[in-house]
Structure 1
Amino acid sequence: MKTAKGGRLDEVTSSEMTRCLIRVGEARDRAAFEALFRHFGPRVRAYMLKRAFDVALADELMQETMMTVWRKAGQFDAGRGNASAWIFTVARNIRIDSLRRSRRPEFDPEDPALVPEAPAAPDQNFEDGQDAERIRVALATLPSEQAELLRMSFFEEIPHSMIAERMSLPLGTVKSRIRAAFSKLRYALGDER
């Protein structure tokens, strides 16, 4: 194929390719894009093949690169570089995006971490409600300080050291009072293991 100046396509200068890219960006000039594609397509494919070692992937990435060139040619700034540098920057970014996609695990909707737990059976809900009521009643039998220590430790999940600071008590005292509260709670619930 010959260019507008009569030279061979493989002898096309950098400035001619830059003009073609500008025409694609400004006017969606198909002939200019065809010239870009014929010139850069094989070069981008070779670039991708050196890095991907997979002919099908190299072809796919070359096609994606050239389609991106078509869509984004209007963003090309000739003052910042030539067509070759811009197109190979696009190619490099396409390759990086492809690598990221390939390293990202596939979404598995059956992954146990993503499947919600089955709702509890009605009889289980009833038993849980009864157990909760028994615990509330048993907690009411404890001295208020012990009940407060259990609430802070198990319902609010405050570490024993922070409870000791808040209550201005030694850590050992907090731990022994929590053990004593558990012992009384077990007795009140009828669980004396």
Structure 2
Amino acid sequence: MCQAGPVARRGRLVPLFDHNALIVAIARSGDRNAFAKLFDHFAPRVKGLLMKAGTPAELAEEVAQETLLTVWRKAALFDPSKASAGTWISTIARNLRIDIARRETRSRLSQVYEIIDEDGPEQPDMAVWGAERDLRIRAAMTELSPDQYRAVELAFLEGLSHQDVAKQLAIPLGTVKSRLRLAMSHLRGRLEDLR
């Protein structure tokens, strides 16, 4: 049962909410109120910890949001007998940050390979393969939600920065990044064999 306010016990204040119980409530019934309380408590803390570790503020905010979304999706996996809510959430945040660092490294490497490949003349069979690839990409994009499609269109086809996309769509930067991340995840899944 979640406590409604701080309680003094043995000369110290007990936390405003039982965070373990909040996660259990999310797992059992998708309790949005419990999630909001958990989000309000942990999102700024996760962001702060990541920033102290050298993560840029924008990325730290993105990881914090993704961490709490993971808590929402995977609340049923939480076992309070193995770890506290704070420890579990910190582990999720750390793993997400490591995954992002790995993706950034792979992305930088693929950009280098693209630059190297651009130097040579295009072979006829590569031109055909490129046209087929483009058709597959367009088909996969039609499966995106309208919001995701528009974010991808602005960011990748029109070349706008994430901040410019947020301004253009009048939505928060974190929402733009979430839409792009979900869209890219979907596209990767549909186009895995093109790599």
TM-score by length of 2: 0.51
* Unpaired runs of at least 5, structure 1: 121-193
Change (3 A) 1:119 1:33: closer
* SS of equivalent residue, structure 1 residue 81: coil
Change (3 A) 1:13 1:34: same
Q: Does 1:36 align with 2:38?
A: yes
Cα-to-partner distance string for 1:33-69 (whole Å, 9 max, x where unaligned) = 1111111111101111112341111111111111111
Q: Does 1:60 align with 2:65?
A: no
List aligned pairs for 1:6-25, cutoff 5 A. 6-7=5-6, 13=15, 16-25=18-27
Report deviation, 1:112. 4.9
Letter matched to residue 50 of structure 1: K
Distance 2:59 2:75 in 1: 23
Q: Does 1:118 align with 2:106?
A: no
Report what 1:75 is aligned to. 77
Report deviation, 1:105. 3.2
Q: Which has the larger radius of gyration?
A: 1
For the Cα contact (< 8 Å) 1:14–1:84, is it kept in 2? no
Distance 2:14 2:106 in 1: 40
Change (3 A) 1:112 1:53: closer
Distance 1:72 1:16 in 2: 18
For the Cα contact (< 8 Å) 1:14–1:83, is it kept in 2? no
Change (3 A) 1:116 1:74: farther
Report what 1:27 is aligned to. 29
Letter matched to residue 41 of structure 1: A
Letter matched to residue 70 of structure 1: W
TM-score by length of 1: 0.52
Q: Moved runs in structure 1, 4+ residues, more than 4 A?
A: 108-117
Instruction: Count matched residues.
Output: 116
Letter matched to residue 68 of structure 1: T
For the Cα contact (< 8 Å) 2:4–2:16, is it kept in 1? no
Higher mean alpha-carbon deviation, 102-111 vs 57-66, is at 102-111
Report what 1:5 is aligned to. 4
Letter matched to residue 6 of structure 2: G
* SS of equivalent residue, structure 2 residue 123: coil
Change (3 A) 1:57 1:119: closer
Distance 2:76 2:121 in 1: 47
Report what 2:179 is aligned to. none
